[in-house]
Structure 1
Amino acid sequence: MRAISGLWRWRHNPLCRTTDLVEAWVALAALLLMLLSAPVAGALVGGAAQDSLREAVREQHASRQQVTATVVRELDRTSLGIDPETDAAADLRSRVLADWTAPDGTERHGAVMTSLRDPRPGDRFRMWTDEQGRTAARPLDSATATTHAVLAGFGAALAAAGGVETVRRLIVWRMVRRRYARLDQAWSRVGPDWGRTGTGS
C-alpha cells in the first residue's frame, strides 16, 4: 500500500517506470475494492445467516418444550463421557435417572443431564424435550443467533478483503517477474561489453 502514497509524487518523476505507476494504480484499485466489497459481502452473508438462524430459532422453539423432571437417583459420574481434564464441565452437570411427563401426556423415564450440583431423589429440575418427550438441547435464542450472524458477516468481509489482497499480490508478483525478465534480457545484451573502454558511447 506504500505505492498509493507515492502515486501523486511519481506522476512527474523521470525515474518512474511504467510498471511503478501500474503497480500503484493496482494497489489503489485493490484498496477501493476492499472498501466496497468487504462491507457488501459482510452484509449479504450476515443477512442470509440471520434469516436462516431466525427460522431455526422459530422451528426449535415450536418443536421443543420445557418440562419438569424429578430425580430418581444419581448415576455414576464415570459414565458421563466428559473429558477428565475439564473439571469445570464435570462440576456443572450431573447425570441422573429421572421421571418426567412428555408434552403429549405420556410418562417418561431415563438418564438425563442436569445442572443440579448435588442431586438427590425427589429433586425437581427443568429440562427440554421434543414433542414426543425425548430429551433435546435447549433451543437457540435470538441473541445467540444474532451473534452467529454477525460473526458470519465479519468472516465474509475478511474473506472478501483477503481475496482482493491475494489477487493484488499475484498481479504485482507477475509484474515483478516480467520486470526481472526484461532486466535479464537487457543485461544479456550489454553484459559482454560492460566495463570496456569506448563501448556503448
Structure 2
Amino acid sequence: MRAISGLWRWRHNPLRRGTDLAEAWVCLTTLLLILFAAPLTGALVGAAAQDTLQRSVREQHRQRHPVTAQVIRRLERTALGADPETGARDTRTRVLAGWTAPDGTRHRGALAAQLRDPGRGDEFRIWTDTHGRLAPRPLDPATATTHAVLAGIGATIVAAALMETARRLVLWRMLRLRYARWDQAWDRAGPDWGRTGTGS
C-alpha cells in the first residue's frame, strides 16, 4: 500500500525527482512479486516435491514388506530415545526373533519389539525387503503430502524474503547515488557559499 500511495503522491508533484518515482515503482513491483510470484514459486516447488515424494512412497511400498516376527527369547529392555511423533520415551524390549521373508527364506536376529512383556511365541510386525533384511517402515502418503506442503510454504517464504532483500538493496543503491549527486552539487556550490561579495 505504501508503494501505491507513493506513486500517487509523486504523480503530479513539482518537487518530484526521477529517483522518487523510480523508488515508488520498485516498491510496487516488489509488492506485486511478493503477492503473486512468491506463492506461484511455492506452488511449483510443492507440486514438484509432492510428485517426487509420492513416487518415493510407491517405490518404498513396492520394495518393503510387512512381516510377522515371532519371539524366540527375551534379551533386554532398552530406552531408544523419544518418539518423534509423540515426544514420549520409546522403551522397547530387545528380543531374539525369527521371521520368514517374502521370498520364503527363514531369518532370525535381535530386534527391538514393541511388546510390553514379550514371551516365547509372541508375534509382532516388522518391515523387511524381499530377501528378509530389516528395513525402515515406508513413508505413508499423508506424511509425504505434509512434507510437500511444508516445502511449498518454505519456498514461498524464501522467495518473498529474496524479493524484499533485492528491493532493499536497490533502494540502498539508489540512496547512495542520490547522496553522491548531492555531494557533487555541494562541491560545485561550496567554494563560494557563504562568502561576502559572492552574491549569497
TM-score by length of 2: 0.86
What residue identity is the alignment partner of 1:160? A
What residue identity is the alignment partner of 1:175? M
Q: Which runs of 5+ in 2 are unaligned?
A: none
The separation in 1 between residues aligned to 2:3 and 2:193, in whole angstroms, is 33
Over 3 Å counting, the alpha-carbon distance change for 1:118 and 1:195 in structure 2 is farther
Deviates more, 1:131-140 or 1:108-117: 108-117
Are positions 1:118 and 2:91 aligned together? no
The separation in 2 between residues aligned to 1:143 and 1:81, in whole angstroms, is 25
Please list every run of at least 4 consecutive aligned residues from structure 1 whose deviation after the TM superposition is greater than 4 angstroms: 80-83
What residue identity is the alignment partner of 2:178? R
As a proportion of its length, which structure holds more strand?
Answer: 2
What residue identity is the alignment partner of 1:75? L
Q: Residues 128 and 136 of structure 1 are in contact (CA less than 8 Å); yes or no, is this contact kept in structure 2?
A: yes
Match of 1:38 in 2: 38
- Per-residue CA deviations over 1:17-58 (Å, capped at 9, x if unaligned) read 221111010010111122221122112111111111111111
The separation in 2 between residues aligned to 1:117 and 1:75, in whole angstroms, is 13
What residue identity is the alignment partner of 1:41? T
Over 3 Å counting, the alpha-carbon distance change for 1:14 and 1:118 in structure 2 is farther
SS of 1:111's partner is strand
Aligned pairs for 1:1-201 within 5 A = 2-77=2-77, 88-91=88-91, 93-197=92-196, 199=198, 201=200
Q: Residues 112 and 135 of structure 1 are in contact (CA less than 8 Å); yes or no, is this contact kept in structure 2?
A: no
Q: Residues 71 and 122 of structure 2 are in contact (CA less than 8 Å); yes or no, is this contact kept in structure 1?
A: yes
As a proportion of its length, which structure holds more helix?
Answer: 1
The separation in 1 between residues aligned to 2:93 and 2:69, in whole angstroms, is 14
What residue identity is the alignment partner of 2:174? M
**What is the Cα deviation at residue 70 of structure 1?**
1.5
Q: Which runs of 5+ in 1 are unaligned?
A: none
**What is the Cα deviation at residue 82 of structure 1?**
5.0
The separation in 1 between residues aligned to 2:112 and 2:90, in whole angstroms, is 11
What residue identity is the alignment partner of 1:108? H
Q: Residues 103 and 131 of structure 2 are in contact (CA less than 8 Å); yes or no, is this contact kept in structure 1?
A: yes
- Per-residue CA deviations over 1:36-90 (Å, capped at 9, x if unaligned) read 2112211211111111111111111111111111122333456x7759xxx9434
Could you tell me the percent identity over the aligned residues? Answer: 67
- Per-residue CA deviations over 1:145-195 (Å, capped at 9, x if unaligned) read 111111111122222222222221221111111011111111222233333
TM-score by length of 1: 0.86
Q: Residues 75 and 96 of structure 2 are in contact (CA less than 8 Å); yes or no, is this contact kept in structure 1?
A: yes
What residue identity is the alignment partner of 1:111? A
